[in-house]
Amino acid sequence: MAGFEHLLTALTPLNLAFALFGVVAGTVIGAIPGLTATMSVAVLVPLTFAMPTSSALILMGAIYTGAIYGGAYSAILLNTPGTPSAIATTFDGYPLAKKGDGDYAITIACLASVIGGLIGAVALMTLAPPLSEVALAFGPVEYFWLAIFGLSLIAALSEGSLIKGVAGGALGLLLSCIGVAEVAGDVRLTFGSQTMLSGIQIVAALIGLFCIPVLIDLVAQPGHHLKVDSGSRGFRLGEAVRYLWGDKINAVRSAVIGTVVGILPGAGGSIASLVSYSEAQRTAKPGQTYGKGEPGGIIASESANNATVGGGFIPTLVLGIPGTPPDAVILGALLVQGVRTGPSLFANQGEIVYTFIWGLILATILMLPTGLFIGRYAYRTIITLPKALLVPAIAFMTIIGSYAIRNNISDVIIMIVLGGFGWIIGRFGFTASPIVLGLILGPIAESGFVQAWTIGRATENQMGMFFGRPISIAIIVFTLFTLLSPFVLARLKKIKDRAHAD
């Protein structure tokens, strides 16, 4: 394997200690709603300036990978994705936890994250230059259609009505427009309110729409938050490994999807995990009930989002284009360290890059024991803490977490109001996931849409601009397939049933 000789450099006790610290810190930070992977990496960047380059990169990579995994804890135990990339983990993680299998769900998430993280890192080591070409093939229109594809997936996956999912996605895109327009600078949809001027912060909205409805329902009734099992069942590692072995194709396929989607700048873990989840659901074996507590859903989501860590580094290192927001922070740190990203990076500064990639692999492996231990502790804490302490503790964390993102009280107010709104519309079948994804993808979608619209207007070929490019056409076909296939399949099933009855 390329760069194998640099493994020993990464294996120094100091680097191992940094990797271990980074994974633990990242996992804990990622588990707290409001503290994202980007924030955890950004906070620690100044500490790394005085470190040797490879150690600094290993620490940042370990924090990043740990934080992405940590997001699964709150997704599974509180129905609140700790990071946006854990949205799809809530679909099956929370139902599993409600059944009393939260410990099992966390172990499955840990194993899947390790597999995804390793496959992403190996892809980074072996395939970085050719894979980075994929990112260059995507123009603004393709990014617009990719965002729409992501929304169509979540609309189709939303429990209940597809139309409600589409409406939720469109509402999310409109909410992302609030504040000062990035393209032309107009103040939009604030209606004179100072609170709305800075727009809706994505993580604050995510906390509000996912976490506040859980809190609202939690206080309404007595009884435990999650079903409490009798006696200790350990990590349930054997059970989880057996399930994972039976679903290995799902794990590997999701990791490959995560790696490829991670390469596309801006797309990130949320789209990767949704695409993988959708694929897992499409290829479900008989008896697998996705959306109702199927461990395969957690495998798809967690394997994919951890694979985006390695995948996202591919354009970051080879092209200097950050694949995900934490990559952008790490790119800044790389420049401070004197590392020049670009196609010649692997040849000119191979020692640093390969040591970093080995460090990432070691950090991912270290995530297995640390993730299992921290997960067990988090699970026991959540299920044994009395409701009278759990509710104020979570509510307090949502407030401080939302405030800390931009040091802005308005974000906290918007978070709580959106939470109340989310709870009301949730009672009528409008789920939070499409709205949040619309908010996340809004800036990418708008930037691509407006650029394509402007170019199309200038060249007097708007239809060709939106519908005439090969990659765009492929994404549009996938989108239509996602939206129409449930109807077509239901119709076919009806015809088949009728034929059987006759």
Task: Report the interface residues with another protein, using CB under 8 A.
Answer: 43, 159-161, 163-164, 166-167, 170-171, 173-174, 177, 181, 183-186, 188-189, 191, 212, 215-223, 386-393, 395-397, 399-400, 403-404, 407, 409, 412-413, 416-417, 419-420, 423, 425, 427-430, 445-446, 449-450, 453-454
Q: How many residues does the chain have?
A: 502
Closest separation in Å from C-beta 365 to another protein = 28
Closest separation in Å from C-beta 464 to another protein = 17
Closest separation in Å from C-beta 48 to another protein = 16
> Would you say 96 and 296 are in contact if contact means Cβ atoms under 8 Å apart?
no
Closest separation in Å from C-beta 369 to another protein = 25
For the chain, first and last CA: distance in Å? 61
> Would you say 375 and 74 are in contact if contact means Cβ atoms under 8 Å apart?
no
In which residue are the tokens 């506040």 written? 212
Closest separation in Å from C-beta 227 to another protein = 15
Closest separation in Å from C-beta 438 to another protein = 8
Closest separation in Å from C-beta 341 to another protein = 28
Nearest residue (CB) to another protein, 117 versus 434 = 434
Closest separation in Å from C-beta 305 to another protein = 24
Task: Tell me the C-alpha distance between 471 and 335, whole Å.
Answer: 33
Nearest residue (CB) to another protein, 309 versus 441 = 441
Closest separation in Å from C-beta 62 to another protein = 18
Give just the sign of the alpha carbon dihedral 254, 124, 329, 51: positive
Beta carbons within 8 Å of 276's beta carbon, 6+ residues apart: 88, 253, 254, 257, 258, 300, 301, 303, 304
Region for 51 from its dihedrals, namely left if φ exceeds 0, alpha if ψ lies in -120 to 50, beta otherwise = beta
Nearest residue (CB) to another protein, 409 versus 489 = 409
Closest separation in Å from C-beta 416 to another protein = 5
Task: Tell me the C-alpha distance between 153 and 147, whole Å.
Answer: 10
Of 434, 440, 481, nearest to 200 by C-alpha is: 440
- Two structure tokens written together for 335: 């420049």
Nearest residue (CB) to another protein, 262 versus 419 = 419
Report residue 420 CA to chain centroid gap. Answer: 24
- Two structure tokens written together for 145: 């259609």
Report residue 218 CA to chain centroid gap. Answer: 25
> Would you say 292 and 96 are in contact if contact means Cβ atoms under 8 Å apart?
no
Closest separation in Å from C-beta 46 to another protein = 10
336: Cα within 13 Å, side-chain hemisphere: 18
Rg of the Cα atoms in the chain: 22
Nearest residue (CB) to another protein, 121 versus 215 = 215
Nearest residue (CB) to another protein, 127 versus 177 = 177
Nearest residue (CB) to another protein, 218 versus 365 = 218
Nearest residue (CB) to another protein, 283 versus 381 = 381
In which residue are the tokens 């709305």 written? 196
Nearest residue (CB) to another protein, 343 versus 456 = 456
Task: Tell me the C-alpha distance between 196 and 204, whole Å.
Answer: 13
Nearest residue (CB) to another protein, 302 versus 446 = 446
What's the burial of 160, exposed, middle or buried (CB within 10 Å: 0-12/13-18/19+)?
Answer: exposed
Nearest residue (CB) to another protein, 373 versus 403 = 403
Task: Tell me the C-alpha distance between 386 and 388, whole Å.
Answer: 5
- Two structure tokens written together for 211: 């976490």
